[in-house]
Amino acid sequence: MFRFTVTHRDSYTHARLGRIETNHGTVATPAFMPVATQGTVKATTPHELQELGTEIILANAYHLYLRPGVELIEQAGGLHRFMGWDGPILTDSGGYQIFSLKDLCRIHEEGVHFRSHLDGSAHFLTPETVVQTQKRLGVDIAMVLDECVSAPSSYSEAARANALTTRWAERARTATTRDDQAFFAIVQGGVFPDLREQSARELTTLDFPGYAVGGLSVGEDPVVTHEVARHTIQFLPASRPRYLMGVGLPEQLVRYVSLGFDLFDCVLPTRNARNGTLFTWRGKLNIRRAEYATDQRPIEENCECYACRHFSRAYLRHLAVAREILSARLNTLHNLYFYQQLMRSMREALADGRFGDFARPFLAVNETEKEEERV
């Protein structure tokens, strides 16, 4: 079972409210997916994720294929049972990971030869084996194998990769078999508007249950990211979920929701947490700074997360400076709670017809703060 329904459209932007129904539960969209690369959202338990309001997580088929291996997860009854998360799971195919290790991979029409970043062992992935892997993992949403070109890339290089991505998507579409699992295609095309349009048009003719925009936020200027995403989304069918991969900062989520994207994933809330960077409604703070040493306030007043309900900035700073595991835990809980609250707030604003009233002041505060941080 896989069904996507748009329940409300914003009057002033392209933002929309919806839901994705899967065999493992329903996801209210727009939704943010915490990243569980290796089958665990770093430093959290499935129980905590649920309490934070998480409805879907992202894992990485490439990483799980290499370690612990697909057969082992299949034996355990699939990824849901293996990792103890019974809500919806989306797996990225790993195209991005493979192609980011340029020296370790060679691309052919048939598929991609690469060496494991863990032990150097040789592997060969094809669009069909990637479908098969995710089928065996038993996830609810799976991604096709795409070729992700690095930024900057030449037009001809992006065009070549684009054509291959389409041919691979055709093969993947043919190979899908489970009707409880939805494969999403990934639009590529680098920073070139006509290639993005071409990729979107070719892929949509294959009638996938959902579409992702990939190959963005890979080093290009955020202004370019925004332009390309805005250009691309118009060629994706409004009846299907639209997923912007690897994005992003809170203010970016608000911007891209307003463009009409429904799904997001990003390592920022979890990775930043481990470095001591915490998100708040008034911008970011780095808890390691000396000014927090005697600060008895929580990270954010009125935040209902476990960290804010029980601990002071002074204690959290101590844990961060002392490199305690509890630091990563509490910071991660806070950041993921913040991200889920942000998505909830956007959904509520959409339902109430006041998305613009929510988005404008939020962007004013956060985009200003971001500038200040750059100084």
The binder of a copy of itself chosen from 156, 322, 371, 374 (CB under 8 A):
322
Contact call for residue 339 and a copy of itself (CB under 8 A): no
Q: Which residues are catalytic?
A: 92, 265
Q: How far apart are CA 64 and CA 288, in angstroms?
A: 33
Nearer to a copy of itself, 221 or 324 (CB): 324
CB of 39 to a copy of itself, least distance (A): 7
The binder of a copy of itself chosen from 102, 310, 354, 360 (CB under 8 A):
310
Contact call for residue 1 and a copy of itself (CB under 8 A): no
Contact call for residue 324 and a copy of itself (CB under 8 A): yes
Q: How far apart are CA 58 and CA 92, in angstroms?
A: 7
Q: How far apart are CA 165 and CA 187, in angstroms?
A: 8
The binder of a copy of itself chosen from 114, 315, 339, 358 (CB under 8 A):
315
Contact call for residue 326 and a copy of itself (CB under 8 A): yes
CB-based contact 115:155 (threshold 8 Å): no
CB of 87 to a copy of itself, least distance (A): 14
Nearer to a copy of itself, 163 or 303 (CB): 303
Long-range CB contacts (within 8 A, 24+) of 349-356 = 350/8, 350/10, 350/15, 350/16, 350/17, 351/8, 351/17, 353/10, 353/11, 355/10, 355/12, 355/13, 355/15, 355/257, 355/258, 356/10, 356/12, 356/13
Complete edge-to-edge strand list for the sheet that includes strand 182-187:
31-33, 263-265, 242-244, 210-213, 182-187, 141-143, 89-92, 57-60, 35-36
The binder of a copy of itself chosen from 105, 267, 321, 363 (CB under 8 A):
321
CB of 274 to a copy of itself, least distance (A): 8
Of 79-87, 186-194, 339-347, 366-374, the segment contacting a copy of itself by CB under 8 A is 79-87
CB-based contact 140:91 (threshold 8 Å): no
Contact call for residue 311 and a copy of itself (CB under 8 A): yes
Copy the structure tokens of residue 89.
């799971």
Total number of residues binding a copy of itself (CB under 8 A)? 37
The binder of a copy of itself chosen from 293, 348, 351, 353 (CB under 8 A):
293
Contact call for residue 76 and a copy of itself (CB under 8 A): yes
Q: How far apart are CA 225 and CA 259, in angstroms?
A: 12
Strand-pair category, 25-29 with 16-22: antiparallel
Copy the structure tokens of residue 335.
């950041």
Contact call for residue 267 and a copy of itself (CB under 8 A): no
Contact call for residue 143 and a copy of itself (CB under 8 A): no
Q: Can you say how many angstroms the Cα of residue 345 is from the centroid of all Cα atoms in its chain? A: 19
CB of 242 to a copy of itself, least distance (A): 31
Q: What residues pair up with 60 in beta bridges, in sequence order?
A: 92
Contact call for residue 84 and a copy of itself (CB under 8 A): yes
Contact call for residue 314 and a copy of itself (CB under 8 A): yes
What residues have CB less than 8 Å from 81, skipping those under 6 apart?
none
CB of 300 to a copy of itself, least distance (A): 17
CB of 142 to a copy of itself, least distance (A): 20
Please provide the DSSP assignment of 261-301 as one string: --EEE-SHHHHHHHHTEEEETTEEEETTSGGGTT--S-SST
List of residues contacting a copy of itself (CB under 8 A): 38-40, 42-47, 67-68, 72, 75-76, 82-84, 293-294, 296, 306, 310-312, 314-315, 317-319, 321-322, 324-326, 328-330
